[in-house]
Structure 1
Amino acid sequence: MKRIESEQNASIKQWKKLYTRKERDKSGQFIIEGPHLIEEAINHNVQIAHLIVEESYRLPAEWEHMRLDPWIVTKKIMGMLSDTEHPQGVLAICRMSSNELQIKAGGKYLFVDGVQDPGNLGTIIRTADASGLDGVVLGEGTVDVYNSKVLRSTQGSLFHLPVVKGKLEEWMDECKQMEVPVYVSALKGAQSLHDVNSSGSFALVVGNEGSGVRTEIMVSADQLVYIPMFGNAESLNVAVAAGIMLYELQKNGQ
């Protein structure tokens, strides 16, 4: 095992930079924290470049045979590297994978247009995973999927299904070529989800927390849809809305 005790160590400084999108994009690496996320990464063949362990942390026995060759650091250094108020004692530097997604006839997809809150995006990806979708596409203006708060909110779901970045208009065109209907969340000129028959295949587009889906995306929709409200609320949090709509489309297609 290798040990780092100096807070000025070059590796420590480099790893801390991974909390910035610029450095993640430049290095092709990102940082995850805690045994649950690391175990999910291991189980889904995410490449781990470095495992960083606080000196008093005891590695799970099932990790010991995986040749992770951990770096041992002091409690103070672990606190410097952690992005949480209460560090969990173990971090991993992971290599980004080249996720690929192909629109297939009969597939089910979620497109995200400009969601900016990390917690919302992480919850949306986790919900897409729970809904059994074939993939998620993150459009322009959406928060970086490797943001530490996004990663924590996914609870490992990021490693379970393809999540890619791209121009939503192009992905919507692909859906139409494969006869996958595209439903866009909207408040005006939309049809109630209760009246939609998804036929088991769909792409759902959800939008920015404040402004919703962009107009140029809406005009390419096969159908604008909304969630009927039974109380006085005008709208829902985008992650909550995405969950309701995904399950309703799944149910309608059965």
Structure 2
Amino acid sequence: MKRIASTKNERVKEWKKLQSRKKREERGLFLIEGLHLIEEALKYKSIVQELIVLDGAKLPNHFFEGTIPTTIVSKEVFSLLSEMDSPQGVMAVCKQLRWEIDLNVKKWLLIDAVQDPGNLGTIIRTADAAGMDVVILGDGTVDLYNSKTIRATQGSIFHLPVINSSLKPIISKLKEEKIPVFGTSTKNAVFYKEIPPSETFALLVGNEGNGVSKELLDMTDQNLHIPIYGKAESLNVAVASAIFMYHLRK
């Protein structure tokens, strides 16, 4: 194992740069932090490229049983890199996941310009729990590898394909494949329970403030809404997504 004590070390500077979306995209890498996320990542070959461990941290023995390069760092170095309120003493450099779009899968979640990383991570986690097959991140959506997004997924980022792609061509292809596409809107929409559960469907959810763009809503087979019985103006997009996904799946 290597040891690094100085925050001025070049390796530390390289790790720190991975907190920038631009640098993550350039290098095809991202950082994760915490025991649970790293446990999940270690289940999949070649994702974890390097472990960064706080000197003195007590970790499961199997973290050190493989061939993954490990560096022990000082408290000062770990504090510089950590973005958690209560750090657990371990982080990892991971390879970004690359997935190909497979039109043969049945349950699609399409996300249009969701901008809050916590919302996006929660939606991905819920999509995993609801048994969705793929999540497509449309233009304007927050970075999948934002640290807050990753933490909110609770490891689901490693469980199902999450792919960046413009949504218009995806929706066109889904319609060619006779996969019904359901938009989410309060306008020109039916009560979601009027649509029966199905073996195959695509659900389109949108931006926290503006919802799904009109251009995309005009492409859907049917738009759905959830009634508001109280005085709230709307539901959080992650909560609404959960209701729709669990209802639509068969």
**Given that residues 41 and 158 in structure 2 are in contact (C-alpha distance below 8 angstroms), is that contact kept between their aligned partners in structure 1?**
yes
**Given that residues 109 and 134 in structure 2 are in contact (C-alpha distance below 8 angstroms), is that contact kept between their aligned partners in structure 1?**
yes
State the partner residue of 1:8: 8
Amino acid at match of 1:224: N
Please say if 1:144 is aligned against 2:136: no
**Given that residues 191 and 224 in structure 1 are in contact (C-alpha distance below 8 angstroms), is that contact kept between their aligned partners in structure 2?**
yes
Rounded to whole Å, the distance in 2 between the matches of 1:45 and 1:178 is 33
Runs of 5+ unmatched residues, structure 2 = none
Please say if 1:229 is aligned against 2:228: yes
State the partner residue of 1:73: 73
Amino acid at match of 1:129: D
Rounded to whole Å, the distance in 1 between the matches of 2:47 and 2:246 is 32
Distance apart, 1:46 and its partner CA: 4.8
Distance apart, 1:230 and its partner CA: 2.6
State the partner residue of 2:112: 113
Rounded to whole Å, the distance in 1 between the matches of 2:17 and 2:220 is 40
Aligned residues between the structures: 250
TM-score of the superposed pair, with normalisation by structure 2: 0.97
Rounded to whole Å, the distance in 1 between the matches of 2:207 and 2:69 is 42
State the partner residue of 2:219: 220
Rounded to whole Å, the distance in 1 between the matches of 2:133 and 2:46 is 19
State the partner residue of 2:28: 28
Runs of 5+ unmatched residues, structure 1 = none
**Given that residues 118 and 148 in structure 2 are in contact (C-alpha distance below 8 angstroms), is that contact kept between their aligned partners in structure 1?**
yes
Deviations 1:111-154 (CA, angstroms, capped at 9, x unpaired): 00000000000000000000001100000000000000000000
State the partner residue of 1:17: 17
State the partner residue of 2:101: 101
Rounded to whole Å, the distance in 2 between the matches of 1:165 and 1:125 is 13
SS of 1:87 mapped into structure 2: coil
Rounded to whole Å, the distance in 1 between the matches of 2:108 and 2:188 is 23
Distance apart, 1:235 and its partner CA: 1.1
State the partner residue of 1:242: 241
SS of 1:58 mapped into structure 2: coil
Q: What root-mean-square deviation, in Å, do the aligned CA atoms of Structure 1 and Structure 2 show?
A: 1.1
Please say if 1:51 is aligned against 2:36: no
**Given that residues 190 and 226 in structure 1 are in contact (C-alpha distance below 8 angstroms), is that contact kept between their aligned partners in structure 2?**
yes
State the partner residue of 1:200: 199
TM-score of the superposed pair, with normalisation by structure 1: 0.95
Q: Tell me whether 50-59 or 115-124 shows the greater mean CA deviation.
A: 50-59
Amino acid at match of 1:92: A
